[in-house]
Structure 1
Amino acid sequence: MGALIAAGLLPAAVLMVCMLIAAYAVAVSRGYPAGVFPGWAGVFHAAAAAVPGLLIVVIILAGILSGVFTATEAASIAVIYTLLLTFLIYRTMNWHYLMLAAAKAVKTTGVVLLLIGVSAMFQYLMGLYEVADFMGELLGKVSTTPWVVFLLINVILFVLGTFMDMAATILIATPIFLPIAMKFGMDPVQFGMVMLINCALGLNTPPVGTTQFVGCAIGEISVGAVMKTIWPFYGALVAALMLVTYVPSFSLALPRLLMGYAH
């Protein structure tokens, strides 16, 4: 898990740059006015106010990469830190909102546990009927060239992500496509990054498109209107996906450097 987290840092930076370029291109092409610079005093004030919240990222990454706690334990530590932060420093949390958050967490956890149970049964059936071998042979018949196979895997994962929740896509698709990707030379950690970026694309694509529907509800705008203007950002995601898929060092350099990862 630590290697997977370290592997995500460089792709995240690449994705951020791609998104910034897309946002800048859209803003310039549509003539959006520049924002008013608040002055360096305003910048420092905003940065200082954000430091307590940003520390949670440092705590989680430092703890996991140093081996002080596991990823699961990091989640518990993050919850405790967030509660202390919102109750004592930002003072935006009260007992009523805490109960609402707990109820939503229980509901989400129940859905995830159900998915885990179903995926375990699904994995057993796939092993029983050798689905991974069948898919590998099928992709092998289409092409024996690794880059073509990786492209087909990306297309299939993207299509699955448009119809399935992110957790379901990961739990169900991983045991099918990970052995195939490894057979054609892709590292498991690299495949994890490919899977996550495909899930990010799926989360922003109807008919499921969870994050897109939430964003549209918050912004009070229709999904159709968003879909007409979202293509530059899709392009940024696809560009990052292609880099991670075909340039292994983007996802493997930091795990090897920081953790001595070797597979």
Structure 2
Amino acid sequence: MEHLPILVLVISFICLLSIGTPVAWSIAISSLLTMLVSIPAMPAFTTVSQRMATGLDSFALLAIPFFVLSGELMNKGGIAHRLIAFAKTLVGSFPGGLALINVIAAMLMGAIAGSAMASASAMGSILGPEMEKEGYSKEFGAAVNITSATTGLIIPPSNVLIVYSLASGGASIAALFLAGYIPGIMTGIFLMIVAAFWAKKKKYKVGKRSSLKQVGKTFIDALPSLFMLVVVIGGIVTGIFTATEASAIAVLYSLILGFIYKEITLPKLPQILLDSSATTAIVMLLIGSSMCMSWALSYENIPQDISSGLLSLSDNKIVILLIINLLLLFVGIFMDMTPAVLIFTPIFLPVVTKLGLDPVHFGIIMVLNLCIGLCTPPVGSVLFVGVGIAKTTIEKVFKPLLPLFIAMIIALFLVTYIPQLSLWLPSLFNL
């Protein structure tokens, strides 16, 4: 009977997912069933509803709807075209130039919009047809787009890092944002190396070298968009405003930019607000239900049991981090990133902190790890967006995806075992 709550939780959650229940409701219902094992029905129902509500009662979480809205405004405001044009002048003449453009533009777009879905959608619809025209296979184009889109979740501003800050009990959002830069850029570089080798092997066409004048022109065109990074991240790091205030400034900045570029008009605004509201509602429901499951796990002492179990296997930091990474890679296949961060942070963070790991460093490990899950079936949302836009199938995309997965896993293990890749920038600012 001692392990009954964890059995009820795991079995009910898997069964609900297998019959097609949405992830948020699967989490909430399995949490309720777990609590019904230990406490009477009325307190269990009351606790579930209370925890879902109080889980969203956080000032930091206000940043999410604002960043979602700013990402939507950026996506519809002509930002992607200008970033692609700038990236084209930088790397268009290298082997696999269009694939490299996709990676760089996705990193910039993700850094500005903070959304892997927005990046995959924008880059796929703009660059996909162009890559096909130049002789690239649509499967290779989709694979590059899918994997590069996830870099925007590590490079700030990132909604997932805000969620991790909440789940960790107060890891600094500013420190997490700074910590994401080097791992995110490094992952992008690894993806570019693999893409260049693949393109050279397949003998894809190489573009013309751009003149300094063209580089300068496209840079000036993209500069207002890139300047948003300076405003948002610079303001947070220097303490001028909080992450939540920065997200509101990002909305105002992207709205003004969209009107200046004449890509956003007043008649388009209601649909943009509606789309961002729908995305926010999904994210917030996931957060509320995940906070409920976190409480149920804590009530049943499950994190402490797992922590003791892991530490009983070994007290070697390298071994424990390897086990946690393998578990998170497995979790990422079946669970969306937001609930995974909220549920597994309270489980694994006590383990790694006992081994002397910095919570900021672990946050980057966790997010980078779960980014890989966004590119894998059956739950990989970015995978489905990328495949859908490219009008191909997962089976056909899998072959070119495999070497890109390996590049992401190599980046993950470097970040895991070299803490300074994450902690160097925050330490420069005493965060």
TM-score by length of 2: 0.58
**Any unmatched runs of 5+ in structure 1?**
none
The correspondence for 1:174, drawn from 329, 345, 357, is 345
Counterparts of residues 100-179 of structure 1 (less than 5 Å)? 100-179=271-350
Distance in 2, matches of 1:38 and 1:99, equals 40
Q: Are the counterparts in 2 of residues 170 and 195 from structure 1 also a CA contact under 8 Å?
A: yes
Q: How does 1:59-78 map to 2 (within 5 A)?
A: 59-78=231-250
Counterpart position of 2:359: 188
* 8 Å Cα contact 1:132-1:180 kept in structure 2: no
One-letter amino acid matched to 1:136:
S
In structure 1, what residue type is equivalent to 2:345? T
Flag the structure with more relative contact order, 1 or 2, with Cα contacts below 8 A and sequence separation at least 6.
1
SS of the counterpart of 1:230?
helix
The alpha-carbon deviation at position 37 of structure 1 amounts to 2.4
Q: Report the counterpart of residue 35 of structure 1 in structure 2.
A: 207
- Determine if the alignment matches structure 1 residue 251 to structure 2 residue 422: yes
Post-superposition Cα deviations, 1:38-76, rounded to whole Å, max 9, x if no partner, equal: 433322221111111111111111011001111111111
Deviation of 1:177 after TM superposition, in Å, equals 1.1
Report SS of the residue matched to 2:378: coil
Residue in 1 that maps onto 2:264: 93
Misfit runs of 4+, over 6 Å: none
Gaps of 5+ in 2: 1-172
Deviations 1:126-171 (A, max 9, x none): 2211111111122123333211111111111112112111111111
Alignment counterpart, residue 47 of structure 1, candidates 207, 215, 219: 219
Amino acid in the other structure paired with 1:138: G
Cα deviation for residue 199 of structure 1 reads: 1.8
The CA deviation at 1:240 is 1.1
Separation in structure 2 between the aligned mates of residue 189 and residue 246 of structure 1, nearest angstrom: 14
Partner of 1:15: 187
The C-alpha deviation readout for 1:161-214, integer Å capped at 9, x for no partner, is: 121111111111111111112122211000000011012101111111111111
Of 26, 32, 46, the residue aligned with 2:198 is 26
Aligned residues, how many? 259
Separation in structure 2 between the aligned mates of residue 170 and residue 203 of structure 1, nearest angstrom: 13
CA distance in 2, matches of 1:13, 1:113: 28
